[in-house]
Amino acid sequence: MNINQAKISKYFRVLSNPTRLAIFLNILDTSCEGCMEKDEVSDNCVSKISKCLDIPQPTVSNHVKELVDFGLVESKRKGKNIYLFPSPLFSDNIQEFSGYVTGKVSN
């Protein structure tokens, strides 16, 4: 199996920052339990992530930019908000890597 080592190492580098990792994990958790009002939509946007994690919005925005630039997250602007979701390409790459590691460890 041919693993793109440079790409995988970038993923690990980007996720090695604890704040950025928390933001990424929050994006994966679409429910964002405990931080939304009853009438709010469960979409992830910078303002909701900021509220959920109690991190200033500019800090969240800076970390999200890194996640987007390195292909872990994709964004879509809707009005004033930028909605975030995990990149399918990142998911494919990390699953391939995980399968490779699991195959090597199991043998």
Extract the tokens encoding 98.
């995980």
The pLDDT, as a whole number, for residue 95 is: 87
The pLDDT, as a whole number, for residue 6 is: 87
The pLDDT, as a whole number, for residue 35 is: 47
Contact 99, 86 (CB under 8 A): no
Domains and CATH numbers, the chain: 5-33+41-106 (1.10.10.10)
Within a 13 Å sphere around the CA of 38, how many CA atoms are in the beta-carbon half?
A: 0
The pLDDT, as a whole number, for residue 90 is: 86
Contact 45, 57 (CB under 8 A): no
Enter the pTM of the model: 0.80
Contact 72, 14 (CB under 8 A): yes
Query: pLDDT tens per residue, the chain (107 residues)?
Result: 577 888 888 999 999 999 999 999 999 886 444 444 444 444 688 888 999 899 999 999 999 999 999 999 988 888 888 888 888 888 888 888 888 888 888 76
